[in-house]
């Protein structure tokens, strides 16, 4: 598995998968739907799948002396690796926003989402959606990804829209502030549990499907 992961990170991955994690810096942009940073991270990962299809990476990998289920597992780990980098960067920028820039006027008067623990929770939900709707279904054929990615685009835009609307609902204003932090961190923890559960289930289902797939 170690060698397979090394292959995923060094050979199979597309450079955009790494570059697009820098969109996490959008956490500092006021007056902008900053949750799009999660979408762009997933879009970067999408390029690795696209590159793999064009180079017949899946077929090459299954010809190696390894279990087919490990091919899926390694790709899921790679996806989580990129998502973790993006999340950590977003968390770092969120910390800066909530501490050194806490009193900055652009954030106090921002009608859009501000970066806080709830924002980080939304990021995890977008990542979970990507892993379930795109990464998992890809292994039904191991080469078709157009429809799953369009479905992810629609789903992620719905999540972003809901996230931007909720903090305007009376009683939910705290979702866009630095207030009620214990509750915000509880929501972040819940999103993390959902992310882990959804990713693990998607991986296991994909492994079973891929093992029966005749390439």
* pLDDT tops 70 at residue 122: yes
Burial of 121-139, coded b for 16+ CB within 10 Å and e otherwise, reads bbbbbbbbbbbbbbbbbbb
Cα 215 to Cα 203: distance, rounded to the nearest angstrom? 19
Q: Which of 132-146, 177-191, 200-214 has the highest mean pLDDT?
A: 177-191
Look up the pTM and report it. Answer: 0.94
pLDDT digits (tens, 9 = 90+) for 28-74: 998 899 999 999 999 999 999 998 888 877 777 777 778 888 889 99
The confidence score (pLDDT) of residue 214 equals: 64
Task: For residue 167, give both structure tokens.
Answer: 């903090």
Residues in CB range of 39: below 8 A, 6 or more apart: 126, 153, 156, 157, 160
Work out the end-to-end distance of the chain between its first and last CA atoms, rounded to an integer number of angstroms.
21
What percentage of the chain carries pLDDT values higher than 70? 99
């Amino acid at each position: 598995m170690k060698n397979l992961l090394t292959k995923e990170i060094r050979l199979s991955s597309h450079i955009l998968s790494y570059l697009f994690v820098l969109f996490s810096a959008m956490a500092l942009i006021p007056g902008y739907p900053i949750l799009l940073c999660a979408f762009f991270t997933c879009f970067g990962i999408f390029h690795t799948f696209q590159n793999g299809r064009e180079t017949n990476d899946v077929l090459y990998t299954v010809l190696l002396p390894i279990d087919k289920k490990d091919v899926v597992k390694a790709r899921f780990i790679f996806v989580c690796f990129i998502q973790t980098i993006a999340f950590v960067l977003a968390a770092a920028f969120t910390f800066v926003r909530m501490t050194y820039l806490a009193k900055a006027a652009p954030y106090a008067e921002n009608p859009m989402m501000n970066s806080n623990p709830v924002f980080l929770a939304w990021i995890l939900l977008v990542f979970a959606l990507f892993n379930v709707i795109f990464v998992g279904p890809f292994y039904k054929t191991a080469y078709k990804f157009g429809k799953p990615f369009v479905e992810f685009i629609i789903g992620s835009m719905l999540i972003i829209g809901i996230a931007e609307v909720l903090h305007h609902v009376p009683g939910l204003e705290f979702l866009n502030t630095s207030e009620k932090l214990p509750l915000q961190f509880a929501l972040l923890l819940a999103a993390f549990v959902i992310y882990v559960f959804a990713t693990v289930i998607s991986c296991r289902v994909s492994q079973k499907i891929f093992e029966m797939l005749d390439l």
